[in-house]
A and B are shown apart, each in its own frame.
Chain A
Amino acid sequence: MPVASRTAELIQKHEGEILQDWVQAQMTAVTARPDLMQKAELEDQSRTLLQELKHTLASGDGGDIKGSAWQGVRDTLASISQSRARQGFSPSETATFVFSIKEPIFARLQRDLAKDLAALTAETWLINVLIDKLALHTIEVFQKSREDVINRQQRTMLELSTPVVELWDGILALPLIGTLDSERTQLVMESLLTRIVETGAAIAIIDITGVPTVDTLVAQHLLKTVAAARLMGADCLISGIRPQIAQTIVHLGVELGDVTSKATLAGAFAVALKRTGLAIVRSPQRSA
């Protein structure tokens, strides 16, 4: 006997009824989100899933939901799960959508198989396991689509990562934006040191205007970068220290060592020019 053949018959017979009960149950459940989804859409999703389930069960394939016969159901679940992830449903709300089909099916099973208790138990168990598997599959897809979003954002972050710009012959600037974690520090360090070799720069200005907070860890990463640049023979200046940051640095007792720090990039640039023996003068025509 094919797996869950009774249920297949049952769904065939009472499809409309089951769908109605199911949608009704979902609308009244505590996990219902009328703010995120209209009844029409919910009904649509439910109908599609029920139809797929009916076809697959009727085809008499086993309970292995990873099998090719279940491709249709899996695809349906995947698309429902992805669209729900985008709409802002929580994972448990999405899983409940699948779980809630049990109730109407079980109710019908109980009615139709009331005389054959052994068959009822067996059938109930089979369907129970099957739907649990489907719900787990849904959660997996849901999680995966979330992870995709996170990965995409991470890539974007790294792409936005710090450019090293040449302010003047022998003077580099490194405008940092965002928090410095150890992975990012590594990237920043590598690009800075590579540019130092390329340009032969003697001074690098690290501008932290875009760094939201400077705690001990960030300071440590900054100092690491400074030390690495020094080993390559380049001096580092730190600029762009906002008033709040200065306060946090002092309150936390963060030690910036003997690194020259300036409030603004302009100030640091002036120091850099002086150290390289350059000066900016007003052109005589203009001042006259």
Chain B
Amino acid sequence: MERIPILKMGDYLLVTIQVDMHDRLATTLQEDLADRIVKARSRAVLIDISALEVVDSFIGRMLGSIAAIARVLDAETVVVGMRPAVAITLVELGLALPGVRTALNVEKGMDILRQSLSDTVNGHHSEPVAEPADADAQG
């Protein structure tokens, strides 16, 4: 069966979606990713959707639930490379993905993950989604 590869790089899991997503592929990815996060004890997941030209409400929700699942498993998720048209579609669908962190490209996404990993290594891993607030850094 067709699968989307999940690459492990150090502490990070990388998922690059290169094909058009259909619903079965999305649910498989969700299951695979949950397994890999636990097996590899990953703390950070980066999903690159720059090749996705069409995102429907199912895929949109799937991105949200992947982030939520990863968070439950104590991993940070960043979705990167969303196209403008896709972003507009998602907003029009009412799916602003509030729990998902986003970045413009892979590079910036890696920066965010690296930042949040180093924050948590310093022993401040308490807040799940919120921005690393200034107060937290000082404390």
**Which of A15-23, A102-110, A145-153, A228-236 lies at the binding interface?**
A228-236
Known: A189-B91, A228-B88, A233-B103. 12 other contacts (CB 8 A): A186-B88, A189-B88, A193-B88, A194-B84, A200-B104, A224-B92, A228-B84, A228-B87, A230-B96, A231-B82, A231-B86, A232-B104
B91 lies within 8 A of A234 (CB): no
Q: How far is the CB of B111 from chain A (nearest CB, A)?
A: 10
Contacts of A193 in B (CB 8 A): 84, 87-88
Residue in B84, B96, B108 whose CB lies within 8 Å of A202: B108
CB of B59 closer than 8 Å to a CB of A: no
Minimum CB distance partner of A223 in chain B: B96
Report, nearest first, the 10 A-B pairs whose CB atoms are least far apart.
Answer: A193-B84, A227-B96, A233-B103, A231-B87, A233-B104, A233-B102, A228-B87, A228-B91, A227-B91, A224-B91
Contacts of A228 in B (CB 8 A): 84, 87-88, 90-91
Binding site for A on B (CB under 8 A): 79-80, 82-84, 86-88, 90-92, 96-97, 102-105, 108-109
Minimum CB distance partner of A235 in chain B: B131
Within 8 A of B (CB), among A181-220: 186, 189-190, 193-194, 196-197, 200, 202
B104 lies within 8 A of A196 (CB): yes
Q: In the complex the two chains form, what is the Cα distance from A231 to B102 in whole Å? A: 6
Prevailing SS type, chain A contact patch: helix
Q: In the complex the two chains form, what is the Cα distance from A202 to B107 in whole Å? A: 13
Q: In the complex the two chains form, what is the Cα distance from A200 to B107 in whole Å? A: 11
Q: In the complex the two chains form, what is the Cα distance from A183 to B80 in whole Å? A: 27
Indicate whether A232 sits within 8 Å of B108 (C-beta atoms), given known contacts A227-B91, A227-B96: no
Indicate whether A202 sits within 8 Å of B91 (C-beta atoms), given known contacts A231-B97, A232-B82, A232-B84: no
- Residue among A186, A229, A230, A234 with most chain B CB within 10 A: A230
Q: In the complex the two chains form, what is the Cα distance from A194 to B80 in whole Å? A: 15
Minimum CB distance partner of A189 in chain B: B88
Q: In the complex the two chains form, what is the Cα distance from A155 to B80 in whole Å? A: 36
B108 lies within 8 A of A197 (CB): no
Q: How far is the CB of A268 from chain B (nearest CB, A)?
A: 17
Residue in B88, B96, B104 whose CB lies within 8 Å of A197: B104
